Amino acid sequence: MIQDVMADAEARMGKALDALRRDLATIRTGRASPSLVDRLTVEYYGTPTPLNQLAGISVPEPRLLVIQPWDRGTMGAIEKAIQKSELGLNPSNDGQVIRIAIPTLTEERRKQLVKLVHNHVEEGKVAVRNIRRDAMSSVRELLHEGMLSEDDERRAEQQVDVLTKRFIEETDKIGKAKEHEVLEV
């Protein structure tokens, strides 16, 4: 029973870290990365469709993204989606591919992005803490149902705390790495 609660909490905390990694991957750094535009949705025949399902995305140079749509009719819609996004990028279209030059970041913009990274990291920590709260309440329910002794409950709570601490530290590491990447000139 305790193992089930721990396994569930660990799996959910792992998913929270994966979500944090995905969120941080969309934050623009000084380098081009296909993950910058992976989550963009494009209006395709009246249906919002992820960009990576409509086009091939490549990085031929460190500061250049190339998007090659499989259907040339989607060029305009892809360009509009990129311009409307909060990325602040201007695509250029030559009829065959869409090129996006990634400009160097100013110091002020880097500081804004670091604040955004901190916000995402804090959201990740809150998610981990919420999972901790759910696990603790599950352990208490087991105690009230008479399936655990008080000693087992204390041990289980300590295990949940150790697990939570481990995932909070991992969240901090991920945030520090992204912060370093954003501040890198």
Q: Are residues 46 and 63 in the same domain?
A: yes
Q: Are residues 90 and 116 in the same domain?
A: no
Whether residue 72 is contained in a domain is answered as: yes
Distance of CA 113 to the CA centre of its chain: 14
Q: Are residues 147 and 132 in the same domain?
A: yes
Residue 84: domain span: 35-101
CA angle 126, 159, 141 (to 5 degrees): 80
**CB atoms near residue 176 (< 10 Å):** 12
Whether residue 150 is contained in a domain is answered as: yes
* Structural domain count of the chain: 2
Q: Are residues 150 and 171 in the same domain?
A: yes
Q: Pick the closest to residue 11 from 3, 169, 126 (CA basis).
A: 3
Q: Pick the closest to residue 170 from 4, 14, 5 (CA basis).
A: 14
Cα–Cα distance measured from residue 117 to residue 175, given in angstroms and rounded to the nearest whole number: 7
Q: Choose one of 76, 101, 126: the last residue of a domain.
A: 101
Q: Choose one of 101, 117, 135: the last residue of a domain.
A: 101
Q: Are residues 113 and 176 in the same domain?
A: yes
Whether residue 64 is contained in a domain is answered as: yes
What is the predicted pLDDT for the residue at 105?
A: 78
What is the predicted pLDDT for the residue at 44?
A: 85
User: In the numeric block, which tokens belong to residue 100?
Assistant: 């996006």
Q: Are residues 112 and 146 in the same domain?
A: yes
Q: Are residues 127 and 151 in the same domain?
A: yes
pTM over 0.75? The answer is no
Whether residue 122 is contained in a domain is answered as: yes
What is the predicted pLDDT for the residue at 176?
A: 94
pLDDT tens, residue order, the chain (185 aa): 788 889 999 999 999 999 999 888 877 777 777 887 877 888 888 888 888 888 898 988 888 889 999 888 888 888 888 888 877 788 888 888 999 888 887 888 888 888 989 999 999 999 999 999 999 999 999 889 888 888 888 999 999 999 999 999 999 999 999 999 888 76
Instruction: Return the CATH number at 136.
Output: 1.10.132.20
User: In the numeric block, which tokens belong to residue 16?
Assistant: 């929270």
Q: Are residues 173 and 112 in the same domain?
A: yes
Within 13 Å of residue 54, how many CA atoms lie on the same side as its CB?
28
